[in-house]
Structure formats: C-alpha cells, structure tokens
C-alpha cells in the first residue's frame, strides 16, 4: 500500500513538473538574431548608415522593434555595452546618435528570418561636434600642425536592438502592443553589435576653412607584426 501511494505521488509530481515545463516554454526559443546587412557611405559631407536586423524564432514575426545607433570612442570599447547588472548604455562612455521604430519588412516566407531596417544620416561636422561635446575632447586628445587639429581617438558605432519587454529601452510609440518574448537565456538584448569600421576625424584651423571637418571611414585591420619598424 505504501509503495502504491509512493508511485502515485511520484506520477503526480512528474505531471506537475511537465505541466510547469510546458507552461514555461510556451513560445519557441530565439533561433537566430543578427545584423544581416551593414553599409556606410559619405555623400555630400554627410554620413549615411544602413543596418538590417534579422531574427528567426522566439515569439514569431513581431511587427516592429526599436533600434539604436550608438557612438563611442575606441578608447572606451571595453566598456561598451555597459557591464551587467547596470544599464546596457552607459552615458559616461556611449552616446545615442539615433533611435527609431524598425518595422518588419514584407516577406513571402512566413517562417523567417524576419528583417527590420535602421537608416540614419547626419552631417559629418554635426557628428564630430556631438562626439567632441559628449566625450569632452580637447587639446590633450589631439595633435596639431599649422592647419589642422588631428584627433587621436576614432569614433566607433554599434547597433542595439532591445527586447520588446525592455521597459527602459523599448519606449517609442508604434511598437507592438503585445510585447512578450520568451528570453530563456536571460540575455540583455536581441543584439548589440559593433560595426566593422572606425571614423577618424580632424578639424581645420586654417583661416579660410576654420572648423571644417574631414571624416575618414577606416575598416578594421590586424595590428602590425611584432618588431615592425616604420
């Protein structure tokens, strides 16, 4: 009799555990989450950036996400994103250049991956002014010759896409009313991806063009070999 009661109790416990497991995993896990496209162009002294976020799995094809374009200096790269449990964006080392609602692209294949576009354009001089102000860059951060201020730090950029349930970062009007997504791994974001280039800048001090900004887009390259001399 005792053995029978024990068996019944074990069966009930197993059913309860299975029910809890099914309830906990009521949406599919996030299968893919990445930047499918990145492009940068300079047109008429403006910098144009396009990034496409792609996602498959999770709670299905959500209609929109909020995307962020983050700027920071290469010297602060180790601190971007901010360390947990603090905020993802630490305003001491990173600047939000742009944020927008990214709407899902129409796609014939309903199974995904679903894609969402972020587009941004800014005058090169405005971008540099914003970075100089937030990073408080001054004479100690540049080399000078007769005609130019050469800044030694490069601007880096990253794309950040928070979960819809993120009450701090998913805040714009136009996001889906149904925000739930199953974040089984307790990840801090759908994606936080540094873009594969840096922006080097210098500012004219010539009387004829004083204040004019020259912005160079430079891809990442391996460090010089050990013992290399110039």
What's the Cα-to-Cα distance from 96 to each of 12, 110, 190, 228, rounded to whole Å? 52, 33, 17, 38
Statement: residue 27 has pLDDT above 90: no
- What sections of 81-169 are H helices per DSSP? 124-135
pLDDT at 15: 42
Residues counted in the chain: 230
Backbone angles phi, psi at 129, to 5 degrees: -60, -45
CB contact set of 214 (below 8 Å; sequence gap of 6+):
148, 201, 202, 203, 204
Domain map of the chain by residue range? Answer: 26-123+156-196
CB contact set of 181 (below 8 Å; sequence gap of 6+):
27, 30, 58, 59, 62, 163, 164, 165
Confidence of residue 59 (pLDDT cuts 50, 70, 90): confident
Sign, CA torsion 151/154/157/158: negative
- State mean pLDDT over 202-215: 88
In tens, the pLDDT along 99-154 reads 999 999 986 456 678 999 999 999 999 999 999 999 998 889 988 888 888 899 99
- State mean pLDDT over 18-25: 44
pLDDT at 98: 98
Statement: residue 21 has pLDDT above 50: no
pLDDT at 120: 97
pLDDT at 173: 97
d(CA 121, CA 67): 15
Confidence of residue 25 (pLDDT cuts 50, 70, 90): low
pTM over 0.75: yes
């Amino acid at each position: 009799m005792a053995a029978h009661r024990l068996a019944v109790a074990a069966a009930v416990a197993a059913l309860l555990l299975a029910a809890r497991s099914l309830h906990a995993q009521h949406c599919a896990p996030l299968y893919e989450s990445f930047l499918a496209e990145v492009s940068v162009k300079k047109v008429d002294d403006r910098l144009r950036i396009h990034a496409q976020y792609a996602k498959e799995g999770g709670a299905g094809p959500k209609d929109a996400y909020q995307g962020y374009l983050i700027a920071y200096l290469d010297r602060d790269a180790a601190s971007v994103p901010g360390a947990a449990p603090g905020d993802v964006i630490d305003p001491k080392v990173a600047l939000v250049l742009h944020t927008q609602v990214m709407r899902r692209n129409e796609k014939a294949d309903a199974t995904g991956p679903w894609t969402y576009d972020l587009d941004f354009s800014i005058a090169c001089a405005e971008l540099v002014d914003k970075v100089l102000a937030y990073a408080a860059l001054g004479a100690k951060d540049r080399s000078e010759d007769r005609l130019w201020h050469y800044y030694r730090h490069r601007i880096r950029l990253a794309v950040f896409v928070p979960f819809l349930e993120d009450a701090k970062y998913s805040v714009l009007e136009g996001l889906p009313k149904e925000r739930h997504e199953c974040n089984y791994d307790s990840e801090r974001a759908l994606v936080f991806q540094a873009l594969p280039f840096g922006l080097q800048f210098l500012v004219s001090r010539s009387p004829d063009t004083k204040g004019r900004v020259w912005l160079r887009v430079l891809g990442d390259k391996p460090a010089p070999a050990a013992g290399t001399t110039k």
